[in-house]
């Protein structure tokens, strides 16, 4: 099939490349000229394991093209996927869908034959209705169909999540459209993916509710981990003990510094904003947002306690600064709250991250990037394990025999027994 993907960010580039890999003809469009030129050279704008190889393979095979030309690209294709960003509006919880709407206004002149317009961007419920209304002012209704097909990719696991999704949700009441999309996703359905056709509004809402539910699980286990710390119970036992109940499930019960990233913080807030418009009180999600926002203060308090409230001139090393492992994404990373607060108290911060230097800290005099993990560790009064990269899991701390290391493991990546037996001062979460 001939597909046009608009927006070469995370969702667009991964989906476009994977669709090409399934044998479709794909044009990925972006208005950032440099990004498009780089993509033609195989330079990927963000870190995602396996993506560069897949882009190169499909670009070389002529199935994947990159362009800045919106209208021509739409004209040449049958299905148009909208994959532009929907960030949180400034000083508000609401999702900013202006990029989507701008695009819709621009594309009407390119609808020269029947086209399926798919929103893969996360958009609030009823956005599809609004898109349809705008397009139908200029285009005959018979010539287009607006569908919601939300994306459930996780950064760092995106290719696998695309190829082996738990479910594919397609929101349309239009039979012809559903048939075409079911065919497009056929190779994934035959590998076992569930295909769910719903109303367009339901599909839009499923995306938000999924992320809100997962965020709730995390906030829930984080609060329970606070209770575990006070009662000498290991959170690992609780996560396993409840997770083995199939109704609860074991995943997303890992405690930590709170959820971050470009999705959970944004989507939980956007859902609250939508609910408010309909005069609905989503009190559980409200508490989840608050609980997660309070979490960094709690972690900070624990850091102060570990350092006996003497922060001035203390050397603190962060292992990993992105919002989670296997990504270079800093959006809503908890350390963007922790590091400035520690600096304010006079701490000296070094950080090591497998994805390199981060511009987010360039204006801080006392924050430096260490290329060498060992020198970063040796330098420190406190080591904070902030993300769960595999290379941190196999670190040989024994080499620092001359020093009694103090480690605060925010991701519980080490065995508590092993660490205390090695004579480290070891702190973790909920145990």
Phi, psi values for residue 209, rounded to 5°: -70, -35
Is the Cβ of residue 218 or residue 275 nearer to ligand UGA in the bound state?
A: 218
Distance CA 164, CA 168 (A): 10
DSSP H/E element including 155:
none
Least distance in angstroms from the C-beta of 179 to ligand UGA: 25
- Respond yes or no: is residue 335 known to be catalytic: no
Q: Which residues of the chain form contacts with ligand UGA (CB under 6 A)?
A: 122, 151-155, 211, 214, 218, 252-254, 256, 259-261, 263-264, 267, 323-324
Least distance in angstroms from the C-beta of 399 to ligand UGA: 28
Torsion angle of C-alpha atoms 326, 330, 331, 337, degrees rounded to 10: 120
Least distance in angstroms from the C-beta of 258 to ligand UGA: 7
Sequence-separated (6 or more) residues with CB below 8 Å from residue 349: 316, 317, 318, 339, 342, 343, 361, 364, 366, 367, 368
In this structure, what DSSP letter does residue 196 have?
A: E
Q: Which of 28, 263, 317, 335 is catalytic?
A: 263
Is the Cβ of residue 213 or residue 379 nearer to ligand UGA in the bound state?
A: 213
Least distance in angstroms from the C-beta of 389 to ligand UGA: 12
Per-residue CA distances from 199 to 203, 217, 250 (Å): 6, 27, 30
Least distance in angstroms from the C-beta of 97 to ligand UGA: 15
Is the Cβ of residue 194 or residue 422 nearer to ligand UGA in the bound state?
A: 194
Distance CA 358, CA 337 (A): 15
Is the Cβ of residue 188 or residue 218 nearer to ligand UGA in the bound state?
A: 218
* Residue 115, SS3 per DSSP: strand
* Cα–Cα nearest to 144, from 216, 77, 89: 77
Label residue 192 left, alpha or beta by phi (over 0 means left) and psi (-120 to 50 means alpha).
left
Is the Cβ of residue 59 or residue 323 nearer to ligand UGA in the bound state?
A: 323
Strand ranges of the sheet holding 144-148, from the earlier edge strand across to the other edge: 64-67, 25-29, 2-6, 79-82, 115-119, 144-148, 167-171, 194-198
Is the Cβ of residue 335 or residue 405 nearer to ligand UGA in the bound state?
A: 335
Least distance in angstroms from the C-beta of 2 to ligand UGA: 25
Per-residue CA distances from 303 to 48, 167, 314, 353 (Å): 31, 41, 11, 20
What is the residue-wise DSSP string for 363-403?
Answer: T-TTEEE-S-HHHHHHT-SEEEE-S--HHHHT--GGG-TTS
What the block records as the tokens of 305 is 């306690």
Is the Cβ of residue 30 or residue 267 nearer to ligand UGA in the bound state?
A: 267
Q: Which of the residues are catalytic? A: 263
């Amino acid at each position: 099939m001939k597909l046009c993907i608009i927006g070469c960010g995370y969702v667009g580039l991964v989906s476009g490349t994977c669709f090409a890999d399934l044998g479709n003809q794909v044009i990925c469009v972006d208005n950032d000229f440099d990004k498009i030129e780089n993509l033609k050279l195989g330079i990927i704008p963000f870190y995602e394991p396996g993506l560069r190889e897949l882009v190169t393979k499909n670009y070389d095979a002529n199935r994947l093209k990159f362009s800045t030309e919106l209208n021509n690209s739409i004209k040449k294709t049958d299905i148009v996927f909208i994959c532009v960003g929907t960030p949180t509006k400034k000083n508000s919880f609401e999702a900013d869908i202006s990029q989507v709407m701008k695009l819709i206004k621009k594309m009407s002149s390119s609808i020269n034959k029947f086209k399926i317009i798919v929103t893969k961007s996360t958009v609030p419920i009823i956005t599809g209705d609004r898109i349809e209304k705008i397009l139908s002012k200029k285009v005959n209704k018979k010539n287009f169909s607006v569908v919601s097909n939300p994306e459930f990719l996780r950064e760092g696991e995106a290719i696998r999540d695309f190829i082996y999704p738990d479910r594919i949700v397609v929101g349309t009441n239009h039979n012809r459209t559903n048939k075409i999309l079911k065919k497009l996703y056929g190779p994934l359905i035959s590998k076992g993916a569930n295909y769910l056709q719903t109303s367009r509004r339901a599909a839009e809402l499923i995306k938000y509710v999924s992320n809100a539910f997962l965020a709730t699980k995390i906030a829930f286990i984080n609060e329970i981990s606070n209770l575990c710390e006070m009662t000498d119970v290991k959170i690992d036992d609780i996560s396993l003990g409840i997770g083995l109940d199939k109704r609860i499930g074991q995943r997303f019960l890992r405690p930590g510094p709170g959820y971050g990233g470009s999705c959970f913080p944004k989507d939980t807030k956007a859902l609250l904003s939508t609910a408010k418009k309909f005069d609905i009180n989503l009190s559980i999600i409200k508490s989840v947002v608050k609980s997660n926002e309070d979490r960094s203060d709690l972690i900070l308090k624990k850091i102060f306690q570990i350092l006996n409230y003497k922060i001035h001139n203390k050397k603190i090393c962060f292992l990993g600064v992105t919002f989670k492992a296997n990504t270079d994404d800093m959006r809503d990373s908890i350390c963007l709250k922790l590091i400035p607060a520690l600096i304010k108290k006079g701490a000296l911060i070094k950080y090591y991250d497998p994805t390199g230097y981060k511009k987010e800290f360039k204006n801080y005099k006392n924050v430096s990037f260490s290329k060498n993990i060992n020198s970063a560790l040796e330098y420190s009064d406190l080591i904070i394990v902030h993300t769960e990269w595999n290379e941190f899991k196999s670190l040989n701390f024994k080499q620092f025999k001359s020093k009694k290391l103090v480690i605060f493991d925010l991701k519980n990546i080490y065995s508590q027994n092993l660490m205390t037996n090695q004579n480290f001062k070891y702190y973790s979460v909920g145990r």
